[in-house]
Structure 1
């Protein structure tokens, strides 16, 4: 096998760098939009609800950008990373992000105003949104465990802990959006914690792979 060329190395680094920038970009975009959207309560409402309404195109674009950057990162992991299975799982996460832009959610927790609190899958696109989201969450959790085997003990512990915490907080957020009484008013906050855990782990994975 021939040694990688300078161009190959640069391409790998650019693809892996996508894993560093995607989380901050996605986060800044939804925080800005959530802070300026009328009647939207970030502590209560899910991020996906920002894709509903006349200004929904901003969050739709956010999903697409995040999905494409995550997909590029998955390609970089496939080319240079320690696990093809892990790269595929990150690719599934990327497809979930893209699907969030293609299939908007149905109203959740009373947003937009005048809609029911409980999520009612009244549209096909809402059903597909929930389905692809669940697959993406499971894939990213699995990726945390798969990549845990690709480094030293500290990295393994961090990856496993990230997978457990991501799955647990996402389960709590799902219960909140299903109107669990003690959680419903903080469902959006819990989801943001969960998504932050995911993006942070992906960024650290990018650094871990770049160093390797």
Structure 2
């Protein structure tokens, strides 16, 4: 038996002022594209930028160097698209358990991405080529601002996944509930391992972030297809 994603039932009065399904579908399409776009652009750079090693350098480090503008643009564009796409999630989840906070948290993650693009972390660990090995003796304020923005993004994504887990659990959609919690836990553990200085922590963080991002996009696509 297949499970169909449902939006809340509307009264005739509410339906008269309800947003157009076409507009909602377009917003959900933006949500589908937003964060996976960031992942594709970031991973392409990780595979091609000279001196970059994903087991040593966070994906945020790609904002440095002569080609850093690509990752900066990637952060800002994906963040703006995430903020826009969150409105589509708000419309389809409205009136359901978790339907208020899941879209809000997705929107907050987008705002964090925009800030992460605006504030660039310091060069470190030999990237870009020519940068000193290890971490700088003193971090710039822009680097601290970038780390703060990253924390906002990660925390919001983790929370959004767990709220979606609650939403789907209440709806009796066990697979979606488990998937949501797994995605949130992947980012929680990946970020925790990176923060602890664990071996290849930047890689586990990248895996966790991309897992959560792709899951949010997957949920948005499920709802888009149901309209």
Please, what TM-score do these two structures have when normalized by structure 1? 0.87
Measured after TM superposition, the shift of residue 114 of structure 1 is 3.1
* Alignment pair present for 1:193 and 2:207: yes
> 1:170-198 CA distances to partner (integer Å, 9 max, x unpaired)?
2112333xxx4xx1xx2332222112211
Q: Name the structure 2 match of 1:8.
A: 20
**What value does the CA root-mean-square deviation take over the aligned residues?**
2.1
1:79 to 79, 84, 91: 91
In structure 2, the residue corresponding to 1:107 is in which secondary structure? Answer: coil
- Max Rg structure: 2
1:103 to 100, 111, 119: 119
Cα 1:108–1:198 shift into 2, 3 Å: farther
Measured after TM superposition, the shift of residue 55 of structure 1 is 1.1
Measured after TM superposition, the shift of residue 92 of structure 1 is 0.8
User: Where does the alignment leave 5 or more consecutive residues of structure 1 unmatched?
Assistant: none
* Alignment pair present for 1:141 and 2:158: yes
**Alpha-carbon contact 1:107-1:120 (below 8 Å) kept:** no
User: Where does the alignment leave 5 or more consecutive residues of structure 2 unmatched?
Assistant: 1-12
Larger deviation, residues 158-167 vs 120-129: 120-129
**Alpha-carbon contact 1:110-1:118 (below 8 Å) kept:** no
Q: Name the structure 2 match of 1:164.
A: 185
In structure 1, the residue corresponding to 2:126 is in which secondary structure? Answer: coil
Please, what TM-score do these two structures have when normalized by structure 2? 0.82
| Superposition misfits of 4+ residues, deviation over 3 angstroms | 4-7
* Alignment pair present for 1:124 and 2:128: no
Larger deviation, residues 52-61 vs 27-36: 27-36
* Alignment pair present for 1:208 and 2:225: no
2:110 to 80, 84, 94: 94
Q: Name the structure 2 match of 1:28.
A: 40
* Alignment pair present for 1:154 and 2:175: yes
